[in-house]
Chain A
Amino acid sequence: MTDSTTASAPKPSSSVKLVLLGEAAVGKSSLVLRFVNNDFQPNKEPTIGAAFLTQKCQLPSRTIKFEIWDTAGQERFASLAPMYYRNAQSALVVYDITKPSSLVKAKHWVAELQRQASPGIVIALVGNKLDLCDDDSPEDDAQDGENVDGHEEEAVRKVSTAEAKAYADEESLLFYETSAKTGHNVSEVFTAIANAIPETSLKGPRGGAGGGTQAAISGGGGQDSSRVNLNARGDAGAKEGCAC
C-alpha cells in the first residue's frame, strides 16, 4: 500500500480469491449479495452447492478484484469445502450473533482453515445479523430466509462482542459485526481483507490468484468414489432412443 501510484495513473489490479464459510442460515449469501449488488433479499432460499461471484474493491493504491466462493452451509456440502478454500488468499467465516452454535461451527472452520488452507490466508470472523439486536429494529423477522429460529421470542444477541473479539484476537483474525440487512460494516469487512492481503501475494489480474483458484479447484480430489464413471454404464445405451 506504500505504492507510489498516483491517482491519475491506472491503479494496478489484482485478483483475490475469497471463500465464505459458516453454518447454514447465518447469512453468508446475504453478505455477499450486499457486497456485490448492494441488495438484500429478506427470505433468501438456501444456497445449493456454491455460488461464484466477483466484485471489485477500490483501495487507494490499487484495485482488488474479489473472486468469491459463497458456499452452502449445510453439512452435506462440508466435504466439498476444501476445493473452495484451497489456495484461497482470504476467508470470511460467518456466524450468527443470535445463535451460539453458529460460533462453535465458525471456530471449527477457522481451525480447519488454519490446518489445511494456504499458510498466509487472511481470515475474517464475522458476526452477522446485527440488525436483530438493535434496540430500534421493529421487525424481528429473520434476516435470512434460511434462518429457522426467526420466531423465537428473543431474536436478540446470544454471542457477546467481547467473547467473539477475544477469540478473534487470540487466533489473529479480523473481526467485524455486520448486518447484511442494513449493510452495516459489510463493505468494511471486504476492504479490511483487501488491505490485509500481503502485497507479495498480489499478482496480475488473472495471474497468481486466478491460477491459484484453478489449482484449488483441481486440488480437491479425494472423493472420487462418488464420482460417476461414464464408461462403466452398461445400461446407458438403452436410453439412447430418447432424443431429448
Chain B
Amino acid sequence: MSTTEHSAQSSTGQRPDVGPDSNNGSPPPLADARQHDEGTLEQSKELRPPLPARPDLMERGQTAGAGSLRLSKRAARPQLQSQATTALSLADVHTADRLESGDLKSSPASRAVSRKPSFAYSLRHASTAASEVDDGASVRSDMPAAGSRLDGESMLGDLIEGASTPAFKALSAQIERADPFDGTLAEDDILSTQMQYELHDVASVDADGTNEEALLKIWKAKLKHFFILSASGKPIYSRHGDDQLISHYIGVVQTLISFYQGANDPLKGFTAGDARFVLLSKGPLNLVAVSRLGESDAQLRTQLESLYMQILSTLTLPSLERMFSYRPSTDLRRPLEGTDVLLDGLADGFTRGSPSTLLSALECLRLRKSHRRVVDETLLKVRSSNLLYGLIVAAGRLVSVVRPKKHSLHPGDLHLIFNMLFEAGSVKAGGGENWIPLCLPGFNNTGFLYMYVSFFSTSEDVHSPEAERPSSGGKDDELAIVLISANKDSFFELRQMREDLVIQLEKNGSMAVIKTAIRKGHASCADITPGTVLKHFLYKSRGNVQFTMPSFEPHFHGLVARRKLMSLYHNLHESIHSRTSHLKVQHTIAYDSTALAWETPLFELYCVASSNASRAALVQGANKVVSWIRREEERVFIIGGAVF
C-alpha cells in the first residue's frame, strides 16, 4: 500500500484499473459489468453487491502483483474500456472472443475495468456458489466461474492486440492455451517460441562490441530475468547477459531502488509493458525478478528468496554482513565465484516452473510403507555418531530421511541441495564422492555444515565407488546418498556409513525396490484416477509439507506445454493464496482447459482437464484424487521418517 506501489501500478496500468482509478474515475463500467454478470448468473443474488469485491481486487493487485491470473488481465488491460458485456458473457468463450475482438479495438482502456469486476465477482462466486449451484443450471451457472478465470477475455484481447505487442500476445497465448492436448502452436505464438530458447545462454559481447545490438535483442526477448546487485549498485549476478551487456540496466535498476529507498518507501514491484518487476531487499543485497510469465509478486518474491538463500548457503549470513560492513563496495562476485551454476539452476527451474517452489513442498518417491520402513530402519542402524541429516534422494525426490528428533529439514534447504545435486551438474559430473561445505539457511544461517554426497546409477548394480561414475546424466535414474554433518572432519566416518548403508540396502533388497521405483517414474494420471477427465494434478499435504503429482506425460510434452501447465497452476495457486481471498474452491474455464483448485486445512489440490470437461466431471476427478491419496498416503508421503 505504499506510495511506491501506487506509482508502480499506475505505470503498469494494471492496478489502476482495479484500484483507485476505477473507483473514482469509472464507476459505471464496474457497475455495468457486475450487473451483467449477475444477469447471466441469474440466481446467485448474494453475490451482487459490487463494492465489497473491490478491496479484494485492490488488495490482490498489490500483494500479488502480476499473478498468473493477472497475466491475462495484463495482456488485455491496456486496451480495454468498459466492455462490460464481454467480460461477463463468457458462457461460450469463443463467442465472447469474437464479440470482444470487435469491441476491443475501439475501446481499449476500460475492458480491464469490466474484467476486474468479473474477476472479483467470480472469486466470491466460486467460493460460495461452486458447491451449491446445480449443474443442471449448467452453462449459465458455470459461467461466472468462467468469467472469473478471465482467460477468455484476455485471450480475446490478446488475439486482437497481438500485433501491437507481440510478446505480450505470445505470453497470454501461452497461458491461455494451457491445454496440452491440442498441442498446436500458433505460428505467431512468440511466447511459446521464445520459451524454447529461454534457457539458452546469451553469448558474451565481442571485444569490439559489434554484436552488442544483436545480443541485446536476444537478451530482451527473454521472458524472465533475475538480477542480484549489492546495495551500492554493484552487479553480482544476472541470469542472462554478461556485465558489458547489462551494466546500463543494472544502473537503471539501482537508480530506481535508491530513489525509493531515499524516500523511505522501498520499491516492491512495478509493471512495465508486459513485464512485471519485483524487487526484494535483503540486507546488503537487492534482488530483482523480471517476468513475462504471469507469476504473482508473491510467487516471484519466493523465487528471489530462494536465490538469496543460495547466496547465504555459499557464504553464511555473518560473513556476508561482515564483508559489506567492512567495505560496502565489496565485489561479491569473487567470493561467490563458481556458484553461478547453482543460481542458474535455480533460476531456470523457476522459469520452467517448479511445483516444489510453487507449493513450498517436497516430493517423495512412492514406496510401499513396509519398504520405506525397512529403509528407515537401515538408516538408523548404520547411522554414524556425527550424522546430522541423512537423505536418500532419487532424481529430485526424497526416498528417505534420517534426522535428529529436534531438527527437521526445511523445504527451502532441501531445494537448495536438490538443485546442487540434480540441476547443476558439477557434483555428479565430477564422479567419485564429494565433501561439500554448505550453509543451510533454513536450519542455521550462521555456520557451515558438511555434506557427503555419493551418486549411484540405478541402471546397473554397483558395489564400489569406482564403478558408479555416471558419464552422462540421465537425471531421472540417479540415486544419491547425502549425509550431512556439522563436523568437518567426518568425511571418512560418513563414507564408511555410506558403505555400510549400501551393503545393508543391497542385502535386505531395498536397493532393488528403490531402483525399481525410480525406473517406474511417476504414475500417469490415467492410472491414478482411471475414468476421469483429469490430465494432471498437484496435491499438497499441508501437514507433511510434501506434494505429489502424476507424470507430465503423455499430455504435457516438452518445455512449452509444461510451462503452460505450470502457469495455470500458478494462476490457481495465486487465486487461492492471495491475501484477501477466502476461496476454498475455484473452478476456471479457458478455451483450452478447465481447472479446479480446492483448499482445505489438510491439503491443497489443483486439477487440470481439457476444456470440454464439465465441472461435475472435474469434481469427480478431484474426489478420486483425494480418495487415492487417502489410500496411498503412507506411500506417496514420508510420514515421520527415521528419527533418532
Contacts and interface: CB of A to CB of B under 8 A. Distances in A.
Interface of A: 24, 29, 33, 36-37, 39, 41, 44-55, 68, 70, 72, 74-77, 80, 83, 146, 151, 153, 213-214, 217-218, 220-221, 226-230, 233, 236-237, 239-244
Interface residues of B, number: 66
A80 B411 CA distance: 28
B447 A52 contact: no
A237 B406 contact: yes
A33 B430 contact: yes
A221 B546 CA distance: 38
Contacts of A41: 429
Q: Is the interface of A mostly helix, strand, loop or mixed?
A: mixed
Nearest to A210: B492
Interface string B174-206: 000000000000000000000000000000100
A217 B492 contact: yes
Contact of B489 (A29, A146, A220): A220
B349 to A, nearest CB: 16
Contacts of A241: 408
Interface string B555-569: 000000000000000
Interface string B626-641: 0000000000001111
B491 A243 contact: no
Interface stretch (B106-114, B263-271, B434-442): B434-442
Contacts of B430: 29, 33, 44, 47, 51, 53, 70
Contacts of A45: 341, 424-426, 429
B426 A242 contact: no
B401 A244 contact: yes
A27 B316 CA distance: 28
A24 B337 contact: yes
B420 to A, nearest CB: 7
B408 A243 contact: yes
A220 B315 CA distance: 20
Interface in B509-564: 543-546
Interface stretch (B1-9, B221-229, B272-280, B463-471): B463-471
B444 A151 contact: no
A41 B398 CA distance: 29
B556 to A, nearest CB: 26
Given A49-B434, A243-B639, A226 B448 contact: yes
Nearest to A242: B408
A217 B364 CA distance: 34
Contacts of A151: 204
8 contacts: A47-B430, A49-B435, A72-B338, A80-B437, A226-B446, A230-B407, A239-B407, A244-B401
A220 B102 CA distance: 75
Interface string B414-431: 100000100011110111
Given A53-B431, A74-B338, A227-B448, A243 B410 contact: no
Contacts of B546: 243-244
Contacts of B492: 213-214, 217
B410 A52 contact: no
B544 A49 contact: no
Contact of A51 (B341, B433, B444, B449): B433
A139 to B, nearest CB: 16
